[in-house]
A and B are shown apart, each in its own frame.
Chain A
Amino acid sequence: MSPERHPSFLQLDRLAAGAGSSEVEAHVGGCPRCSGHLQRLSEPVGVPPWARALEKPPRSRWQLLALAGPALACAAALLLVLRSPPELREKGAPAVAVYVEHSGAVSLWDGHRAVSPGDRIRLEISAEGLTHVAVASQGAQGRWQRVFAGESPKMGPLPQSWRLDEAPGPEVLGIALSRGELDERRLSEVLRAATRDAQVWTTILTLPKESR
């Protein structure tokens, strides 16, 4: 590696994590810019409370709630009167909108607002040609549990909603749109990898939850 050509930050970060090449190491020895980056990485850091909280026991599970009959019709009617969800990605890319029913009122989740135990959650998908949708909730040790799988709706919300239980901690929901059905193992893989390519598009939603 020439002194004029710096290694990428990725190579430097791998070196800091103990997985760098001898070539990068040799470059860093004579380069103030790259050694300065490594110096910043090596400064001691304490584990803050928000990270410490990750050690707590597994969070709640989403309670599946199959809506049927009048309840479904009622929820669908509430959703239809809402304005279209805001565009989450560029035109032509998939998008997900989250509707929250709280004390009988339905609103579009803004990406930040906390939800409450007892609220009902519903997803509306803009699949942009991806034919299948799968939804998973995250549980112990980051494991994904599939809670819905089916063909992408041409229009409107998914035919299923979820009611939040009272367990503490945010609700983490993974959504995968794909050109074919994903089994549970594959669904976990694409969510772990945050895959977005021509075959699969994923997104992970973290909904803060107020305690009752």
Chain B
Amino acid sequence: MEPNLDAAFRRYFPTIREKCARMLNDPVEAQDVAQETFIRLWRSSIARDDAPRVTGWIYATATRLAIDLMRRRRRQGAPVAEPPELPDGADLERAVAFRQQLDRLARRVPARELELAILERVDGLTQAEIAAVSGISDRTVRRVLTRFDERVRRLLESEANRVP
């Protein structure tokens, strides 16, 4: 069945918009990534698939696009906006702390590690959900996230050692 643009937009764009707002501090950048994600969704035949598959695709694609943007921004030296409020929740403190690190980490850790870390720490996905969205095994998810934590720990230690 051919998807209907209005129906697809109303069904999926709010999800994309909220997902991008969680990842990116700057609302203009979040809107840009949301727009690009929807354009890709519409132009791919994924939009014809069932909702679980489409939402999984949205999470993977929007995360990669946001990481690409963060890396370009760091390269261009663009200013970083203040983070907006995140909704209340049990993991709020952790999510805020992680997102404040994102801009610093974007160019310093491999994109794949950052992608899985965003899915876990910003979007609250379980490791099984991350595995399904990313098309890898639970074991690989655990391994990549462990490597990410170790890399961040070393980076923070290195920064602390440079402080006079």
Contact = CB atoms under 8 A, between A and B. Distances in A.
B162 interface: no
Interface string B95-123: 00000000000010111100000000001
Interface stretch (A37-45, A117-125, A153-161, A177-185): A37-45
A111 B72 contact: yes
A75 interface: no
Contacts, number: 130
Contact of A193 (B19, B59, B135): B135
Contacts of A26: none
- Contact count band on B: 35 or more
A33 B88 contact: yes
A142 B45 contact: yes
B125 A142 contact: no
A32 interface: yes
B84 interface: no
A17 interface: yes
A19 B95 CA distance: 26
Contacts of B72: 111
Nearest to B113: A90
10 contacts: A6-B90, A9-B19, A11-B129, A14-B55, A17-B54, A33-B87, A43-B14, A47-B6, A89-B71, A138-B43
A-B interface, 10 closest residue pairs, ranked by CB to CB distance from nearest? A17-B51, A19-B51, A142-B43, A8-B124, A13-B15, A41-B14, A8-B125, A192-B44, A9-B123, A47-B9
Given A18-B51, A92-B110, 15 more contacts: A6-B90, A13-B15, A13-B58, A33-B87, A33-B89, A41-B14, A41-B15, A42-B14, A43-B14, A52-B5, A89-B111, A90-B110, A141-B45, A142-B42, A172-B43
Interface of A: 4-11, 13-14, 16-19, 32-33, 36-37, 40-45, 47, 50-52, 54-55, 86-90, 92-93, 111, 138, 141-143, 172, 191-197, 204, 206
